[in-house]
């Protein structure tokens, strides 16, 4: 007996045994799709079907596009991320079922979160009743009325932005993403945190430093993210903090200081910080009895039960910043890139913008932007060709029979909506690589399935900041195009190469363009 035990302790045998256990652990799930009659591709040990993405050989956009095209005639297919099966939808009717019709089965994204992180309790991460309560509470802060009152803050930032654009219009190549990011950092800083950051003027602004820590993930955070999807239990057990502690401390301090200042002052700025503080102190917004309207009794109670304390305000302001600054600045940059490649579209856009401003006594106001129809089409086409979020995720909360099939997804299954694949499918968008704003005339939109266009997601879990995001993206584009021409230069990359590391769709080497003032 002792002999067998000693033999087992032999380092070679022990290593062999452990390798065997690990091998069976990693392949144990690999028959899941075959057993369920779902089309799939043979996965690779340790990486599943995500090898090129996990090893940074491909961008998320290219990876999703390839997967989407593996099964051209199917409504759905299965893949493995490391060892976890994931169900991917191709049929827009199924997207509608998951996001809207059967939302009660898919209310959460299923991205593991470590709640030890003080900023983790934000809307994007929360689940179940906590999410529903907070979403109902926050929705009125994004109403068109509230955003209209904030518009003057966007105009202030746009004026600073135009000075910087004028300064950069020397005819030499300019990296426009850097400029656009300074603008969106200023806008979100001003509207969400209530402070004038002045990233546009101040190269060393702390907000800019924190923003770059957020958008450029280090090798360490990338590895943690891999662990999060491949071994969520271990990830939670280790209590890993994906957000850098320095970033957490910074945002928490900014918010506590702001709350203290605002509570002493009687001046209203009408920004998100004012609204969040009002929610903290009064439970709902003045003149708004709608935050619990349309909810059943249980959900209305959940909304009332949500108490916004200082930590929670910091977490919401943080997610508005994290979800809003880079998505909008890259959208502005992609749009400028396309305008430089398509001078006739740029000309038509400028006319639309100048006419809109002229109609409103030469002023850029909220209403004039709503009337710029061609601008809206250009922005929609930009978000189609370059959706900032290339995919969306949902988790099945209880066994779900996929409509029109005999397939039953078990509780816990991740379902992915491949936004980038749908936006580049020639069956929905002929010549998908061409930039054609006319795809978004009312008439053309009516000819398409609405669930083939998903830049802001869909259903009750869609982007709460959509209205604000569109507004700041449009103000950013207007600031450029109104008085300046953008052109390609020797440093412009055509076609764009997507970054292999970034979670948000962006170009690998930046967006280099030439800016010149209009005569
Ligand atoms: C062009 C800019 C933007 C794009 C393309 C975008 C896109 C998205 C997408 C695709 C989602 C996930 C939707 C889903 O799962 O169905 C999302 C969620 C979210 N976005 Fe945005 N976003 C943008 C800007 C903003 C801004 C400016 C804010 C805040 C000020 C914001 C706040 C949020 C929040 C809080 C969520 C989570 C909502 C929830 O889970 O209830 N986003 N966004």
Residue 504 confidence class, pLDDT cut points 50, 70, 90: very high
Question: Do 7 and 109 lie in a common domain?
Answer: no
**How much distance in Å is there from the Cα of 306 to the middle of ligand 1?**
21
Question: Do 23 and 36 lie in a common domain?
Answer: no
Question: Do 95 and 107 lie in a common domain?
Answer: yes
**How much distance in Å is there from the Cα of 327 to the middle of ligand 1?**
9
Print the domain residue range for 494. 31-517
Residue 291 has pLDDT above 70, yes or no: no
For the CA of 394, the nearest atom of ligand 1: 15
Q: How many CA atoms lie within 13 A of 329 on its CB side?
A: 29
Question: Do 120 and 7 lie in a common domain?
Answer: no
Is the CB of 123 inside a 6 Å radius of any atom of ligand 1?
yes
Structure tokens at 18: 């452990």
Give the pLDDT score at 8.
Answer: 63
Contacts of 411 (CB under 8 A, 6+ apart): 396, 397, 398, 399
Question: Do 475 and 433 lie in a common domain?
Answer: yes
Give the pLDDT score at 516.
Answer: 95
Is the CB of 473 inside a 6 Å radius of any atom of ligand 1?
yes
Question: Do 290 and 379 lie in a common domain?
Answer: yes
Question: H or E element: which one contains 254?
Answer: helix 245-264
Secondary structure of residue 229 in the 3-state scheme: helix
- Nearest C-alpha neighbor of 175 from the set 506, 463, 416: 506
Is the CB of 418 inside a 6 Å radius of any atom of ligand 1?
no
- What are the angstrom distances between the C-alpha of 376 and each of 143, 175, 352, 353, 385? 19, 24, 10, 10, 14
- Span 332-370, pLDDT tens digits: 999 999 999 999 999 999 999 999 999 998 989 999 999
Q: Which residues pair with 76 in a beta bridge?
A: 89
- Give me the number of domains the chain comprises: 2
For the CA of 125, the nearest atom of ligand 1: 40
Question: Do 73 and 206 lie in a common domain?
Answer: yes
Residue 258 confidence class, pLDDT cut points 50, 70, 90: confident
First to last CA, the chain: 93
Residues 430, 418: Cα–Cα separation, whole Å: 18
ipTM above threshold 0.95? yes
- Span 64-120, pLDDT tens digits: 999 999 999 999 999 998 889 999 999 999 999 999 999 999 999 988 777 777 888
Give the pLDDT score at 357.
Answer: 95
**How much distance in Å is there from the Cα of 323 to the middle of ligand 1?**
6
Question: Do 150 and 6 lie in a common domain?
Answer: no
Is the CB of 364 inside a 6 Å radius of any atom of ligand 1?
no
Q: Is 463 annotated as a binding residue?
A: yes
Residue 272 confidence class, pLDDT cut points 50, 70, 90: confident
Range among 112-126, 241-255, 375-389 with highest mean pLDDT value: 375-389
Cβ burial of 335 (10 Å; 0-12, 13-18, 19+) is: buried
- Span 35-64, pLDDT tens digits: 999 999 999 988 899 989 888 899 999 999
For the CA of 419, the nearest atom of ligand 1: 10
**How much distance in Å is there from the Cα of 464 to the middle of ligand 1?**
6
DSSP 104: G
Residue 295 has pLDDT above 70, yes or no: no
Residue 455 has pLDDT above 60, yes or no: yes
Question: Do 12 and 35 lie in a common domain?
Answer: no
Contacts of 299 (CB under 8 A, 6+ apart): 129, 132, 133, 136, 292
Cβ 392 vs Cβ 416: under 8 Å: yes
Contacts of 98 (CB under 8 A, 6+ apart): 89, 105, 106, 394, 415, 417
Give the pLDDT score at 426.
Answer: 97
Question: Do 259 and 307 lie in a common domain?
Answer: yes
- Span 169-220, pLDDT tens digits: 998 999 999 999 999 999 988 888 887 766 666 777 787 788 777 766 666 7
Q: Which residues pair with 38 in a beta bridge?
A: none
User: Which of 125, 323, 417, 475 most suits a substitution to test ligand 1, by most atoms within 8 Å of the C-beta?
Assistant: 323
Least confident of 113-127, 430-444, 458-472: 113-127
Residue 494 has pLDDT above 90, yes or no: yes
DSSP 494: S
- What are the angstrom distances between the C-alpha of 92 and each of 98, 161, 183, 302? 10, 39, 35, 32
Give the pLDDT score at 234.
Answer: 77
DSSP 290: -
What mean pLDDT comes out for the span 372-392? 98
Is the CB of 326 inside a 6 Å radius of any atom of ligand 1?
no
User: Which of 150, 186, 423, 465 most suits a substitution to test ligand 1, by most atoms within 8 Å of the C-beta?
Assistant: 465
Secondary structure of residue 199 in the 3-state scheme: coil
Give the pLDDT score at 352.
Answer: 97
Cβ 469 vs Cβ 463: under 8 Å: yes
Give the pLDDT score at 379.
Answer: 98
Question: Do 24 and 150 lie in a common domain?
Answer: no
Residue 263 has pLDDT above 90, yes or no: no
Question: Do 19 and 139 lie in a common domain?
Answer: no
Residues 100, 462: Cα–Cα separation, whole Å: 10
For the CA of 470, the nearest atom of ligand 1: 1
CATH number reported for the structural domain that contains residue 79 in this entry: 1.10.630.10
- Could you give the percent of the chain with pLDDT greater than 90? 58
Residues 386, 507: Cα–Cα separation, whole Å: 10
């Amino acid at each position: 007996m002792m002999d067998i035990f000693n033999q087992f302790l032999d380092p070679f045998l022990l290593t062999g045994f452990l390798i065997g256990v690990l091998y069976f652990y990693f392949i144990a799930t690999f028959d899941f799709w075959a057993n369920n009659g779902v089309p799939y591709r043979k996965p690779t040990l340790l990486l599943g079907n995500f090898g090129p993405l996990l090893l940074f050989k491909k961008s998320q956009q290219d990876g999703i596009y390839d997967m989407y095209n593996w099964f051209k005639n199917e409504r759905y297919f299965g893949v493995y991320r490391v060892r976890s099966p994931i169900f991917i939808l191709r049929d827009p009717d199924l997207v509608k079922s998951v996001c809207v019709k059967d939302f009660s089965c898919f209310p959460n994204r299923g991205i593991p979160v470590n709640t030890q992180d003080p900023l983790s309790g934000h809307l994007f991460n929360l689940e179940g009743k906590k999410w529903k309560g907070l979403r109902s509470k926050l929705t009125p802060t994004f109403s068109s009325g509230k955003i209209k009152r904030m518009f003057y803050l966007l105009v202030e930032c746009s004026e600073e932005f135009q000075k910087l654009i004028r300064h950069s219009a020397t005819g030499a190549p300019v990296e426009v993403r850097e400029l656009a990011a300074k603008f969106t950092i200023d806008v979100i800083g001003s509207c969400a945190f209530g402070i004038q950051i002045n990233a546009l003027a101040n190269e060393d602004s702390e907000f800019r430093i924190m923003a770059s820590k957020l958008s450029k993930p280090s090798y360490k955070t990338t590895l943690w993210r891999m662990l999060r999807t491949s071994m969520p239990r271990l990830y939670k057990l280790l209590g890993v903090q994906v957000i850098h502690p320095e970033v957490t401390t910074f945002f928490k301090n900014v918010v506590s200081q702001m709350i203290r200042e605002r509570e002493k002052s009687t001046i209203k700025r009408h920004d998100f910080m004012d609204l969040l503080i009002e929610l903290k102190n009064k439970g709902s917004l003045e003149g708004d009895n709608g935050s619990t309207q349309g909810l059943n009794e249980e959900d209305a109670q959940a909304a009332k039960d949500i108490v916004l304390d200082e930590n929670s305000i910091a977490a919401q302001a943080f997610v508005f910043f994290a979800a809003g600054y880079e998505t909008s600045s890259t959208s502005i940059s992609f749009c400028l890139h396309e305008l430089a490649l398509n001078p006739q579209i740029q000309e038509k856009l400028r006319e639309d913008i100048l006419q809109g401003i002229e109609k409103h006594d030469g002023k850029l106001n909220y209403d004039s932007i709503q009337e710029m129809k061609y601008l809206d089409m250009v922005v929609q086409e930009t978000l189609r060709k370059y959706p900032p979020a290339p995919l969306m995720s949902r988790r099945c909360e209880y066994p779900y029979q996929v409509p029109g099939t005999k397939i039953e997804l078990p509780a816990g299954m991740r379902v992915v909506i491949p936004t980038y694949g749908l936006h580049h499918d020639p069956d929905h968008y002929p010549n998908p690589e061409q930039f054609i704003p006319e795809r978004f005339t009312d008439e053309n939109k009516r000819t398409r399935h609405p669930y083939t266009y998903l830049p802001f997601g869909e259903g009750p879990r869609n982007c709460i900041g959509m209205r604000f995001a569109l507004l700041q993206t449009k103000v950013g584009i207007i600031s450029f195009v109104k008085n300046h021409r953008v052109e390609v230069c020797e440093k412009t990359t055509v076609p764009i190469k997507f970054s292999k590391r970034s979670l948000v769709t962006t170009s690998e080497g930046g967006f280099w363009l030439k800016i010149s003032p209009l005569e």
